[in-house]
Amino acid sequence: MNATDRTPAGLLRTALSDDPSRPLVTFYDDATGERVELSVATFANWVAKTANLLQDELSAEPGDRLALLLPAHWQTAVWLLACSSVGVVADLGAGAGSAARADVAVCGPDTLEEGRSCPGERIALSLRPMGGRFPEPPEGFMDYAVEVPGQGDQFAPYVPVDADGPALVLPDGSELTGAQVVDRARADATDRGLTVGSRLLTALPYDGWDGYSAGLLAPLAAGGSVVLAPRLERLDAASLDQRKENERVTHTAS
């Protein structure tokens, strides 16, 4: 990876230039049997479309706050990198409190009520297999699956993103700049022994730094990939071993 990358979006750009075809995020929902594998290029395309949605449709600007009220999911990872691309601060604080102080709220089907406290724009994700739409759009929300497909496949911020500006608000209220996010992700990658080509299996929830780091940021910083399986407890020991073999897992997070 490029040592000069100072934002999570910068890490993704380097991954795209290094090897766009390699897997980056593999997501399992063991309640539905869904498996989604996103190469670096495919993931970056989703990030670009989502960043264009943020910047052009929602008029988000650097320093604006986005309440990210989503579970561990590949689309959550996309939103985190889209925020970094625009310079929007991703607030991981739980519930209506983070939404009430946000300019944009991004919600799943289980957090719609919390999202309604957002005074600004509200986006809802169905989290259905294949990124499907809601059968009926939730009142007061834009349906992400309706809005994002028509967005551009390339993204360029109107204003350069300041790596030393706020980028992430953790549930304890602490804030990290883009550069601090990258530094912590690299440190976590080293602590976990991740290197280029490492494949990390994680079931950690996206409810704080550890989950986001294992579930995206540390593998990205190391030049590796993640197998995100938040409902891994549904597997018995034999099935878990088979999952690790099938996915060529080299490391696990707990």
Residue 1 has pLDDT above 60, yes or no: no
Confidence grade of residue 21 (pLDDT, cut at 50, 70, 90): very high
C-alpha dihedral, 191 to 22 to 107 to 93, nearest 10°: 10
Beta strands (DSSP E) in the chain are: 23-29, 34-39, 65-69, 89-91, 104-107, 121-124, 142-143, 166-169, 175-177, 199-202, 225-228, 251-253
**Amino acid 130: pLDDT:** 84
pLDDT in tens, 68-91: 999 999 999 999 999 999 999 999
Query: Are 215 and 204 spatial neighbours (Cβ–Cβ below 8 Å)?
Result: yes
**Amino acid 240: pLDDT:** 97
pLDDT in tens, 168-198: 999 889 999 999 999 999 999 999 999 999 9
**Amino acid 131: pLDDT:** 86
Q: Which of 61-70, 86-95, 203-212 has the lowest mean pLDDT?
A: 86-95
Q: What does each C-alpha distance from 52 to 43, 61, 75, 178 come to in angstroms?
A: 14, 11, 15, 19
Q: What does each C-alpha distance from 198 to 36, 221, 249 come to in angstroms?
A: 19, 11, 8
By CB atoms closer than 10 A (0-12, 13-18, 19+), residue 65 is buried
Beta bridge partners of 118: none
Handedness of CA 123, 126, 129, 130 (dihedral sign): negative
Any idea which architecture 8-253 has in CATH?
A: 3-Layer(aba) Sandwich (3.40)
For the residues 218-247, what does the mean pLDDT come to?
Answer: 97
- Considering the chain, what is the average pLDDT of its residues? 95
Cα 117 from Cα 143, distance rounded (Å) = 17
Residues 6+ apart with CB under 8 A from 128: none
**Amino acid 41: pLDDT:** 98
For the residues 92-98, what does the mean pLDDT come to?
Answer: 79
pLDDT in tens, 125-163: 999 988 899 999 899 999 999 999 999 999 999 999 999
Q: pTM of the prediction?
A: 0.96
**Amino acid 93: pLDDT:** 82
**Amino acid 189: pLDDT:** 98
Residues 6+ apart with CB under 8 A from 65: 88, 89, 91, 101, 102, 103, 104, 169
**Amino acid 137: pLDDT:** 87
Give helix 8-18 / helix 178-192 axis angle, nearest 10°: 60
Confidence grade of residue 3 (pLDDT, cut at 50, 70, 90): low
Task: Give the rounded percent of residues in the chain with a pLDDT score beyond 70.
Answer: 98
Confidence grade of residue 242 (pLDDT, cut at 50, 70, 90): very high
Q: What does each C-alpha distance from 170 to 57, 98, 193 come to in angstroms?
A: 26, 10, 24
**Amino acid 94: pLDDT:** 72
**Amino acid 4: pLDDT:** 60
- Beta-sheet strand order (sheet of 175-177): 142-143, 121-124, 104-107, 65-69, 89-91, 166-169, 175-177
